[in-house]
Structure 1
């Protein structure tokens, strides 16, 4: 594996995934919504790693843009060893269902679920390197077993994302593609908040370990945490 595509790479877990992958010697295609306004940390990584890091516009809601980027990479002869679908939003926190704005549902599903579907749809033909992987960053919030009355858009989108991961696993297992839906932990990021106990770099290391070691769940479902432990569907 040489090249890793990471969505939502400008901050939070995506930024730490990018840094960790570069540190391990991989080339990274870092997808961000606005490359011109990229974070200072991402600019520093670009300065430190040069051609190893490609920062590119990748808005997961823009299918035409995703298709154009995939075509551009194909024309350049670029291949992929892993796709990490990380981009996500968390809306309508602590909102009761009676007060839920359905537009929050629409927006969240567009980014958290349809986004990864669009990315896989157009970049799967480039996933041709040895021992390829697709990692969908999910959440324990999407566990039906542990359902709670809150975060409706986020939780439902992550439940559906785990279903998509399971479908991809069945579809791609004969091609040797390693597919996981990964709970990254409650992380100290803009999304997770200051009280979150998990360092996103620790989670990023775990995700890269899952890719490198091709860790498989002990049970039937392709849903694990960043240490490889099975999560309840």
Structure 2
């Protein structure tokens, strides 16, 4: 598979990239910083034929359009998109103290970012095989399980879940699978040291979903990385 992956340089993203290339897939990695000794470039040196890197900031549509153009020249078509780039700003702040610049930034990255990606990469996806889109969501985006905290993050992930359903309906006649996947609470910079899960495990499960090793029965496409249905 040829997989477009955003936020590929750290956290869950680099583990997704590593797991994918180790399984023989090609990763088209979108990163905000392309430096010599970055994790994704080290992976590229290890798997030179399976990793492409592009400067891509999900808040910058011009960078996305350019990355899509380069990807078209490099591989002509793609099979999967993993919208992984995300932020968790204003963590734990009560609504009375929220910085709305950070709220807007969260929405820009977590919701509008995946929308921009789909706008520019969907034509390449149409040319692929057994196509799928995975939006990395969170149980924090479940309206049913809302806990009255992390307002920007939870609201942005709920909106991302809605976009997932909308997109699924939009590409239904193309037979493209679209899922919102909760990766679990994992030990990354975002998840913190107290997290109970590991990114390697989540990455493996997400690749299993893409490879069809896990059957997804969720009517709305909201699932965890093991394929268990999540409540919207």
Aligned length: 231
5 Å-filtered alignment, 1:179-218, equals 179-213=178-212, 215=214, 217-218=216-217
After superposition, give the CA deviation of every residue in 1:69-93 in whole Å (9 maximum; x if it has no partner). 2122223452101000000000111
Instruction: Give the equivalent residue in structure 2 for 1:9.
Output: 8
CA contact (8 A) 2:76 2:124 kept: yes
Match of 2:99 in 1: 101
Matches within 5 A, 1:1-233: 2-36=1-35, 39=38, 41-127=39-125, 128-213=127-212, 215=214, 217-233=216-232
> 1 CA distance for matches of 2:149 and 2:216?
28
User: What is the CA distance between 1:101 and its match in structure 2?
Assistant: 1.2
- Please give the secondary structure, in 2, of the residue aligned with 1:113: helix
**What is the Cα-based RMSD across aligned positions, in Å?**
1.3
SS state of the match for residue 213, structure 1?
coil
Cα deviation 1:148-206 (Å, max 9, x = unaligned):
11111110000000000001111112111010000000000000000111110100000
Can you give the 5+ residue segments of structure 1 that lack an aligned partner in the other structure?
none
Q: Which moved further from structure 2: 222-231 or 65-74?
A: 65-74
Pairwise CA distance, 1:38: 5.7
Q: Give the Cα separation in 1 of the matches to 2:133 and 2:214.
A: 12
TM-score scaled by length of structure 2: 0.96
Say which SS state the counterpart of residue 35 (structure 1) adopts: coil
State the shift of 1:219 in Å.
3.9
Per the normalisation by structure 1, the TM-score is 0.95
Distance 1:107 1:38, change over 3 A: farther
User: Structure 1 residues 132 and 163, CA, compared in 2 at 3 Å: closer, same or farther?
Assistant: same
SS in 1 for 2:172: helix
Separation in structure 2 between the aligned mates of residue 115 and residue 43 of structure 1, nearest angstrom: 23
C-alpha displacement at 1:218, in angstroms?
A: 2.8
